[in-house]
Structure 1
Amino acid sequence: MSKSSDSTLNLLDDLVKAALKGGADAADAVAVDARSKGVSWREGQMEDVEGSEGEDIGLRVMIGKQQAMVSTSNRSADNLKEVVERTLAMARAVPEDQYCGLAPEDKLHTGPFAELDLYDDTEVSAEQLAEIAREAEEATRAVEGVTTSPGAGASASSWAIDLVTSHGFAGHYKGSSFSSSVSAVAGEGTGMERDYDFTSTRHFSDLESAAAIGTKAGELAVKRLNPSKAESGQKPLIFSPRVANSLLGHFAGAISGGAVARGTSFLKDRLGEAVFADGVTIVDNPLMKRGLSSKLFDGEGVRVQKANLVEGGMLKTWTLNSATARQLEMEVTGHASRGTSSAPGIGTTNLYMEAGTLSPDELMADIADGIYITELIGMGVNGVTGDYSRGASGFMIKNGEITESVSEFTIAGNLKDMFMALVPASDLEFKYGANAPTVRIDGMMVAGT
């Protein structure tokens, strides 16, 4: 552990002890130190350079069943003393929350932390970032049929998280992130079409080349030119990986302990039941090496572990922090998320759907008339009922082959039915925080011409 992390942990420990001395029954403190820089590039020149630095501290205190949180970016002794006093005063004034409290002590991470290789200390200058963005834009504009690029960007960031609780947990870890992205426009006037590509990694050396993402963005935009209109009706749909992962987001929201406890989830009564088809397994793995959403412990200091949320189609667990675990009379699952200004929330980490056995081509081989979805528009999803309706664009599937582009149509169904009909392909890749392979869903309604 670095001297800087030792220093921050000591500061947080002093803050927690001061809260206890002032009358708190329990307390925890979190520090988030973040640094970032980024550039944007447009039409052959630098458009903008941005940089930010933040050192935020959050204190949470509990007096009986009353709790309050205060955050600050001022680490001076006088200010931190005032923060303790203000947080205690707020806790005494708020209504009781019967479910508040620290995580169960026997669930805390007490052993050595995993080595996940989340931090790369490579110093990337603004000039290097500008060169990456320039190369991406030039590659995009070089694609035949591309008329312009709305711009490209590149960024580098790093952060450190420290957490101390009054019942004995102290932990620190840090991470880094590097990314580049580019947009492309093909065609002219009312016939213009846009698309994009990007790359994001923990380590600078893992970034996909700027030329590769630039070329791909341009080719994707050109493929979308001269779209036709989809005919209305019930059709089999193929979701490309970059939109299939949105289905994981809807699933994650539905199994969040907060939604289940409030009764606002369309899966609230389905624990232990089949909610996907037999061949579907969904995994949350916080311990993935160089994972974009990996963590060493959760927002309450609880030990994290790889877990099958869905196994063979069966819903195995909710995602719970300590408050929702108490409310539902269950055990915490290590899914607490944390900022500096609010009580712990709930979130997944490296969420993914395991690959199936069929290639994307095999998955669509028997589709006589369907649609390959590459973009979803709008947020017409009801988390209480599962009703699903979104604008979309993509490509027609005719006799098992992807053909002309198609746009300006709506797809609709219910997530409960969609999950049960979902079939994953074999092309899983890890590019996002949540990842899914290509998936097929039969029986959805398409509203077009």
Structure 2
Amino acid sequence: MKKILYTIAFLLATGTIANAQTPVLQSQQEMADFIVLENQLLLFTRKQADGQYIYSERSQQDGSKVMQKETVLNAGTLNTVIGKNEAGTEVYVYQKNGRKQEVISFYRLKEGNFEKTGERRLPKLKNNSANLGLFLSADKNTLLIAAELGNTRGYDDLYASQWENNRWTKPQNLGPQVNTRQVEFAPFVADNTLYFARQQGEQSMIYSAPFEGNTVKGEAVKLDETVNSSSTYNAYYKKGENGQYRISAAAENSYAIYKIEKDNLLAFAEDPLSFADAVSGSQDPGTLRSDKTTEEEVELSGLVAHSQSPDDAYVLDSEEAAKSHMVTRQANGLTMHYTLNQVYMGGKQAQLLNTYLKALPNGATLTIKGFSDGFGPEPAKARVSRQRAQLLKAYIQQNFASKNLNITVDTVVREEVGQHFRIAEIRTVK
């Protein structure tokens, strides 16, 4: 079967588009991956009867827009954009002309024109799927692949391959934190976060997971309605200095690239929030305990590393606790430990927090302080520290409202870099 790059033709569900979305490009023809370069130059992939080709949309001085097929970029019968450099002046393109003629070509954008600067062969893939999805990192060293390579967890999974010694390493499955029995595709990485789409029935939703050292570092979570329009097909999420974008298919022969005007992922209101999914993987944080786990089995004394005083809140006392990134207990509260970019609790962490909160007297006063370490861009660090504090506050207010706890929140971005600064502190105030 001829391999094609992912398109969104097979989804024809009717849906509604969320607020604060501006259609950048609308089309009655099937569109796949896209990218936004300098000066708002939009490149997108369009499926046609004889293959897949890259088109551009360029803004003119009079405000009009000109669309054209980019002949230089379309050296294959199947072509699609799969990445760009940090400056947005070089684009990476997948091109296929035959079964063994698959390359990644590099093109420099200069004065509005594309000039080829080099190419690499695609890694050897024994793909059992009719589809193939690719994303190449800005430094050209990490290739993310959506395919079915034999060790799939269901249908198409996400894999990673590294450019080492002038060749690609064998693609490695990214594991169960991302891959399920559903179809995962359209990978993209920004700010140490992996974004991807997951098809579920006739819908597709965009998820994110912390991604460090080319490894998934936490459970994938579905993005909110700011990104995922209900009852429709959402895919190819992109995030950068130019904003956030995605492709959506809302009806037959109705495809659009949307710009998400409101960056809801970087903004948090200070008033009480209500998050049904404050715990990763749980739609009901109030019913976390499984039938096989008793409260006695998760007592704080058995599963946390004890600090001697609040002053050593940043130090884990055992290697096991450091590996699990769970909870440290202080004399006057808890410290929640997170992996890079993680903002949601795991089930075990929530159980330990529940035990602590149940022992508090009604009307107690708590302070919650969210921390980020110094790794990454400033907006991402600020967002992570806010979300860690606000999600804990929302969880407590939602599940322990009867205790009438008084809660204040604060955030800190540390200059130091390290796992033990990626925390949230919960303290009782006497």
Decide: shared fold, TM above 0.5: no
Normalised by the length of structure 1, the TM-score is: 0.26
Name the structure, 1 or 2, with higher relative contact order (CA <8 Å, separation 6+): 1
Structure with the bigger percentage of helix: 1
